[in-house]
Structure 1
Amino acid sequence: MALQGNLEDFELTDVIQLIQLGQKDGGLRIQVDDNVGVMYFKNGMVIHANTNFLKGEPAIDSILSWKKGRFVFNPSEETLEHTVDLPIQQVVLEAARRIDELKKIQKLIPSFDIIVKIVEVPAVGVEKINLKPKEWKVLSFVDGVRTIKEITKRTSLSEFEVSKILYGLLSSALVKIVQKIEPVKPEQEKDTVKEKKKEERGFFGLFK
């Protein structure tokens, strides 16, 4: 039986843990609109991942942030690349930590379609600005025209990394939002129904 389903019905971390419990080999393919990500497993361990634009751990970061789309596990899908060697427990812990951080980040950055620009006169003196290489990399693509989604494509970093860096730059008043798209608020009732479905289906609902 195939391991497949919808991310709106099942948590991706539950699917990953199931692959680990069975010590499976193969590829877990996830598709969200035009975005495709694959996580490759060997004896239940993640050994490689890629998306349209990313490879390795940045790709895992990106995939774990996806909350909708279809997934299917194919035992015959293999890779010659070995970019990561992560225990599943670490992947799950990172996912939990990321969820907590994203809740904070989304207060300032509710959408990847937001456009940001560099502040002309920063509140902090230029001599006091001390950024890390990844922060400079992201900042170099901030031009008041590109969306966060477009900046992410050019940096080879995950959406999570870019949004985390921009959160810091926004908080430090080095950049500012010039176009803000309000997120669509989901109906509470629909969310409750979806969560109930996840609980009722459990692992067994993953197999079709």
Structure 2
Amino acid sequence: MSLAADLDTFDMGEIFFLIAHFKKTGRLTFSLPAGGGEIYFKEGEAVSASFQGLQGTEALYRLFLESKGTVQFTPGIAAPERNVEEDSDRIVEELDRRRVELREVTRTLPPFETVLVRASEPPTGTVVAVRRTDWHVLGLIDGKRTIESVIANSRMGILEACKTVSWLLTHGLILDPGVTARALREEVAVVNIILDEFGVQELGTETWENVVAREFDRQLGGRQISRVISFENGRLRVAEGEGWTASEQEVRSLFGSLREALEKEAIAELGPVLARRKLDKVRARAASIAQADLAAVSGGEHEGGRA
């Protein structure tokens, strides 16, 4: 039985089942974005595997998790050596466990076509211990490669590469610029709602300009994010075409402080009753924007990359 298959169409579990079911002896050759690999079978049992310098069982597991590339089974070729000792049941059990782990990890990632960037500033408030493999993947994040390309070029295997990308994202060392841009647009919109509700009619443009300028200088002064935001004609504006390499958390924190300062100024000038009535309107309008953005994101994006 000769067999050629595309891993976009056939799952490795299906191919393994066919070879085991018909008790075939031969070599399964892999052509993958991350490189080549081989698994040898004897009467349907995997007896030898190699992939990216790995030998034996770990190479076998790495190959079976790949989902991009092609495979070719050539019957009758004997293994040069035996380096896989586990029986098929044990292999299938471990593969199932790793597939579940991979599925969980990919849910923490943006779609695989997303291009990530390195954070322009290190995370504040925590000490992050970076491993050699983390540095390796971090070096591949250049603002041009997609996640899929980073995984392929890492030569680590899809599970380990995905876990590393997820770890770097979680610790703020790399960022999805789309998430940051969306957070920035949302926060700017909320501040502009505050300016609409309290602006010229109540306190006058000059008062708000002073508050915003003061808070920008205090909260954003010297920060990379301040280069893409301006205050013009009584409204905040985001520079078109600019990239943001601040984290979503940093954006939310900075604008939270700005909103708090604006609300305090409103209460001081208008009194708590009138100011809070207007702030309730602000929150209602902001909630509508958040719901609209959530609907747009849900309709335009999908779960993390294919596992």
Normalising by structure 1, report the TM-score: 0.62
The alpha-carbon deviation at position 11 of structure 1 amounts to: 4.5
Correspondence for 1:48: 49
The alpha-carbon deviation at position 158 of structure 1 amounts to: 1.0
Q: Kindly, what percent of the aligned residue pairs are identical?
A: 26
Correspondence for 1:61: 62
Correspondence for 1:146: 145
Q: 1:144 to 1:82 in 2, by over 3 A?
A: farther
Amino acid at match of 2:123: A
Amino acid at match of 1:129: V
Q: Partners in 2 of 1:66 and 1:107 — Cα distance?
A: 16
Correspondence for 2:107: 107
Q: 1:153 to 1:12 in 2, by over 3 A?
A: closer
Q: Partners in 1 of 2:169 and 2:26 — Cα distance?
A: 41
Please tell me whether the aligned partners of residues 2 and 74 of structure 1 are also in contact (alpha carbons under 8 angstroms): yes
Q: Which of the two has higher C-alpha Rg?
A: 2
Mapping for residues 77-156 of structure 1, pairs under 5 Å: 77-78=77-78, 80=80, 85-125=85-125, 128-156=127-155
Q: Partners in 1 of 2:29 and 2:147 — Cα distance?
A: 25
Correspondence for 2:39: 39
Correspondence for 1:75: 75
Q: 1:174 to 1:84 in 2, by over 3 A?
A: farther
Segments of 5+ residues of structure 2 without an aligned counterpart are 180-299
Q: Partners in 2 of 1:157 and 1:73 — Cα distance?
A: 24
Q: Partners in 1 of 2:9 and 2:59 — Cα distance?
A: 25
1:76-133 CA-to-partner distances (Å, cap 9, x unmatched) read: 234547665554334322321232223322333253332212212233446x111222
Correspondence for 1:158: 157
SS where residue 66 of structure 1 aligns?
coil
Please tell me whether the aligned partners of residues 35 and 155 of structure 2 are also in contact (alpha carbons under 8 angstroms): no
SS where residue 111 of structure 2 aligns?
coil
Q: CA RMSD in A?
A: 3.9
Amino acid at match of 1:173: G
The alpha-carbon deviation at position 165 of structure 1 amounts to: 0.9
Correspondence for 1:189: none
How many residues align? The count is 180
Please tell me whether the aligned partners of residues 41 and 79 of structure 2 are also in contact (alpha carbons under 8 angstroms): no
Please tell me whether the aligned partners of residues 39 and 60 of structure 1 are also in contact (alpha carbons under 8 angstroms): no
Correspondence for 1:198: none
Amino acid at match of 1:75: P
Q: Partners in 1 of 2:8 and 2:118 — Cα distance?
A: 36
Q: 1:168 to 1:36 in 2, by over 3 A?
A: same
1:142-200 CA-to-partner distances (Å, cap 9, x unmatched) read: 2222222332343321122111111111122221113689459xxxxxxxxxxxxxxxx
Normalising by structure 2, report the TM-score: 0.45
Larger RCO (CA within 8 A; separation ≥ 6): 1
Segments of 5+ residues of structure 1 without an aligned counterpart are 185-208
Q: 1:150 to 1:108 in 2, by over 3 A?
A: same
Structure with more helix by fraction: 2
Correspondence for 2:19: 19
Please tell me whether the aligned partners of residues 114 and 147 of structure 1 are also in contact (alpha carbons under 8 angstroms): yes
